[in-house]
């Protein structure tokens, strides 16, 4: 039996008895992506976080985008993440409808 077939069968055996065909497909897909990532890592075909950020910053600058790169969600100028209900309503223009305007 090939290693690929053996790995697939082991993965399927670990799934619950009531799993769907979609669950099996997804599990096989995830396993394949993990193995591809590990192979890329072994080959040195990866980009480190700081290099990806440098490239994104250069790309955004070339596109005229004024947003800053951020490692944390919610720090973008147009993001509503981490804001209060009032701030979210003001941001979205619903403040008057919800009676939250000062």
Residue at which a domain ends, from 12, 28, 43: 43
Q: What is the pLDDT of residues 14-65, one digit of tens each?
A: 999 999 999 999 999 999 999 999 999 999 988 889 999 999 888 888 877 6
Whether 55 and 92 share a structural domain: yes
DSSP H stretches of helix in 1-94 = 3-14, 21-43, 49-62, 85-92
Number of domains in the chain: 2
Which residues constitute the domain of residue 62?
Answer: 49-98
For tokens 């590990």, name the residue: 38
Q: What is the pLDDT of residues 64-80, one digit of tens each?
A: 765 555 554 555 555 55
Whether 26 and 55 share a structural domain: no
Show the tokens assigned to 76: 């973008």
Whether 93 and 56 share a structural domain: yes
* For residues 74-98, average pLDDT: 56
| Closest of 26, 48, 87 to residue 11, by C-alpha | 26
pTM strictly above 0.85: no
């Amino acid at each position: 039996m090939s290693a690929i077939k053996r790995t697939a069968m082991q993965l399927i055996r670990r799934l619950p008895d009531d799993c769907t065909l979609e669950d099996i497909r997804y599990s096989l897909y995830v396993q394949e992506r993990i193995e591809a990532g590990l192979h890329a890592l072994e080959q040195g075909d990866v980009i480190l976080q700081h290099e990806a950020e440098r490239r994104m910053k250069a790309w955004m600058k070339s596109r005229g985008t004024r947003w800053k790169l951020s490692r944390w969600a919610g720090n973008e100028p147009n993001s509503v993440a981490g804001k209060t209900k009032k701030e979210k309503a003001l941001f979205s223009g619903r403040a008057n409808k919800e009676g939250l305007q000062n």
